[in-house]
Amino acid sequence: MAKKSLFIAFLLGVITLGATAYAQQDTADHSDHEMDHSEHSGHDHSEHDHSEHTMDHDEHDHSGHAHSSDDHKGMDHEHDHSMHMHGEHEMLHGDDHSDHAGHDDHHHHHDGHIMDHEGTHIMGQNFDKLPSSCSSISEEIEITVRAGAKYAKKFPGTTFAFDQQQWRVKPCSKITWHFVNEDNVRHQFMMHGLPRYLYHLGMFHLENTGPRTVTGTMIVPAADETYLVHCDISQHMEKGMKAQLVVGNGGEDIPSIPGLTPYVINDVYEAEDLPKVSDKDDAGGKKKDSFTKQITDFFNDNVPFTGLALIGLLFGLVCAPLFAKIITFRKKDTPETA
């Protein structure tokens, strides 16, 4: 009896201990479930917040993008640059993307940089800032520069040109340039080597798509110097659109200016099988009388027909119909006689 009571007590203890452990585990699972639910709820809320933030951020970015697109609506600048001015132009156009402020149909920038919706471009405009070497303006002048294909006709091997290849001015001159583009393509009037503290990247620049005129003003330093002037549209300078501005006595001339300075690299046009001008005959060693004699000798050596043979050929062509008629008449007379 005692053993039975002890067994029942042990069994009740095990059942009680198991029930307690199960209750604790169920409570822990429920707590974990509530925590997971809370985390999921917080995560959803966080996603909602981030969504709003993303929407706001995207709206802000698109707004800024639209503003940038509007600012650059009128830009039509071709980036086909050559020689050593590449870095300058990249810096120039980097500045174009900032500090925009529209006024009427023009975009005004720092350093006298102006563009409009028609494609006109002015850089380095300077009306009153004197170079450090000048105490006053020596003279005010206006120069008209015309650009077009028709001005290249006097320079064989070129395609474009300015109407003049050189301009001379006094030191400290205030120059108003009128750049007239007479072609239906884009041209530039670009000057290099100016003081960088006064002209952005040391450049003065007029540009438009013709036919159109653009006007800009600048003040040159007092030093005797020669400045490169050219069109920097791809291959336009190489094809003839190159000149120079001489201030005072000038400096070293710019090479390869059509009709003005020697070319660094000359175009060579070779022709085969043409008579060559020489001082003496190949065989006798006698001096040539004239270039005409060389032409005559060339044809005598290379043309298979002599003058007499040509006369005989012409005589035969003229007389052939007469001989044919004579033969025909003789054939007609022969049957009648028979």
The mean pLDDT of 107-128, rounded to a whole number, is 76
Give pLDDT, residue 256: 95
The mean pLDDT of 269-273, rounded to a whole number, is 69
3-state secondary structure of 43: helix
Give pLDDT, residue 70: 39
Give pLDDT, residue 318: 81
Question: In whole angstroms, how far apart are CA 85 and each of 4, 202, 253?
Answer: 109, 11, 19
36 phi and psi angles, rounded to 5 deg: -60, -40
Specify the CATH superfamily of domain 83-247.
Cupredoxins -  blue copper proteins (2.60.40.420)
Share of the chain above pLDDT 90, in %: 40
Give pLDDT, residue 314: 79
Instruction: Write the CB contacts of 35 (distance below 8 Å, at least 6 apart in sequence).
Output: none
**pTM for the whole thing?**
0.51
pLDDT in tens, 9-51: 666 666 766 666 555 555 555 445 444 444 444 444 334 443 3
Which of the residue ranges 54-58, 166-170, 256-260, 289-293 would you say has the lowest mean pLDDT?
54-58
Query: Which position has the higher pLDDT, 274 or 74?
Result: 274
Query: Which position has the higher pLDDT, 95 or 263?
Result: 263
Q: Which two tokens stand for residue 199?
A: 């002209």
pLDDT at 290 over 60: yes
